[in-house]
A = this chain, B = another copy of it.
């Protein structure tokens, strides 16, 4: 069997896994990124993890190539990470350095694109020709896989649905704009909304769970728990996030006409708490012809979609060339 290795580089952890041709993860490693140690040290750690996974399978299986998902702006053709804020990387020649260290073909791309690619070819989007995927995490981003091919757009910048301006939203965004979808509808946006409301005196069970300064430990998962206990604030914030994501997706869907929309990222772990209002708003705003047949589903491999997509993407290119 021929395997490929997928790597997902986050600001906190690096995840690395051996993946078979069907997208099954055979072995997975997770280590801290230690981004402050600089890009050479991080790339060295990635190479160590890839070797460790490869060595385990080398006797039985061929490991053909490595795919690496990196946050931020990536130039997949040049093999360069243009800008990754949470890694503090700028113009890092990832492919050159990793190929030298590993002696294996390496492909890189933006992490969200590879996550959506993983879901499109081996997850919730499998079998559909036109897949639109969105990740609701620290930010919100999208990617489109058309007949098995990722869409990049000019300068490989496609997918910035998180920065679409939403009427009625006034929050400033880290990007410099105002009212961006992700300021209130991402996982961190929802947490920020709840904290802000509590500081303004809104009552919530979350205030009892995290009294005083401990509110800083509040996570998106807590909002789901609070909603299940009937907390009005958590319910409002999750519902509004679902509605706003649905609204942004309705506009994108009428321009792109996907057959399936896959919702992933940490925010999607809220499940129907966020998906139900998302679907309601999306279908309310779609032309009747678009409502027929369009599916909205949660990601299947929420934790592993990144390494699956990275591995299968590298494999696709390696097989082709």
A interface residues, Cβ below 8 angstroms from B? 73, 129-130, 142, 144, 146, 151-161, 163-165, 167-168, 175-177, 247-248, 250-252, 254-259, 285, 287-290, 293-294
Contact = CB atoms under 8 A, between A and B. Distances in A.
Nearest to A254: B160
Contacts of A130: 153-154
- With a 10 A CB-CB cut-off, give which of A130, A252, A255 has the most chain B CB atoms: A255
A125 B260 CA distance: 30
Nearest to A130: B154
A279 to B, nearest CB: 16
Nearest to A179: B285
B255 A142 contact: yes
A168 B252 CA distance: 19
Contact of A250 (B158, B165, B250, B290): B165
Contacts of A293: 154-155
Nearest to A142: B255
A256 B164 CA distance: 12
Contact of A257 (B154, B247, B258): B154
B142 A177 contact: no
Given A160-B254, A251-B252, A257-B154, A287 B167 contact: no
B154 A287 contact: no
Contact of A290 (B160, B251, B258): B160
Nearest to A249: B255
A70 to B, nearest CB: 16
Contacts of A73: 289
Given A152-B257, A153-B258, 17 more contacts: A129-B154, A151-B256, A153-B256, A153-B257, A157-B289, A159-B257, A160-B255, A160-B257, A161-B254, A164-B255, A165-B247, A165-B250, A167-B167, A167-B168, A177-B285, A177-B287, A252-B252
A254 B285 CA distance: 20
Contacts of A164: 250-251, 254-255
A293 B287 CA distance: 33
Contacts of A159: 255, 257
Contacts of A294: 154
6 contacts: A130-B153, A153-B258, A154-B257, A161-B251, A164-B254, A177-B287
A151 B158 contact: no
Contacts of A157: 257, 289-290
Contacts of A142: 255
A154 B254 contact: no
A142 to B, nearest CB: 6
Contacts of A153: 130, 256-258
